[in-house]
Amino acid sequence: DTAVSQTPKYLVTQMGNDKSIKCEQNLGHDTMYWYKQDSKKFLKIMFSYNNKELIINETVPNRFSPKSPDKAHLNLHINSLELGDSAVYFCASSQGRAHGNNEQFFGPGTRLTVL
């Protein structure tokens, strides 16, 4: 069983469209994250949720809206897609935000291409 799964794996869309990426973890973790890996392969945090509560919101355009229906799921909705949104988006989870043993487990990534 996949620990952290994301759908879709690939997403190709036109500028201006709205799209969503889904993430699910079956590890029983209570903290989930969205990271963005740009064309230079640099990974950077976007959002983090702990027990459905938003705890990290980096400087990300408000076209990006995360939603956590329960602690096993964290979805990412993107409005009015722009060319610069093309990247690989990774979901991750860990046991707890204040927990010292905060080993993070990553999903396989979603490669978003905006044309």
Question: What is residue 53's DSSP assignment?
Answer: E
Q: Which is nearer to other proteins, 1 or 14 (CB)?
A: 1
Q: Based on CB atoms, which residue is closest to other proteins, 13 or 37?
A: 37
Nearest-angstrom CA–CA distance, 110 and 63: 18
CA angle 104, 43, 40 (to 5 degrees): 150
Only segment of 22-30, 64-72, 73-81, 102-110 that touches other proteins (CB under 8 A): 102-110
* Residue from 33, 71, 78, 93 in contact with other proteins (CB under 8 A): 33
Three-state DSSP class for residue 83? helix
Pick the closer one to other proteins by CB: 53 or 82.
Answer: 53
Both structure tokens of 14 = 């036109």
* Among 65, 73, 86, 108, interactor with other proteins by CB under 8 A: 108
- CA dihedral (54, 81, 24, 11) in degrees, to 10, reads -170
**Nearest-angstrom CA–CA distance, 31 and 13:** 29
Q: Which of residues 41-100 bind other proteins (CB under 8 A)?
A: 41-45, 48, 55-56, 90, 92, 97-98, 100
Residue ranges binding other proteins (CB under 8 A): 33, 35, 40-45, 48, 55-56, 90, 92, 97-98, 100-109, 111
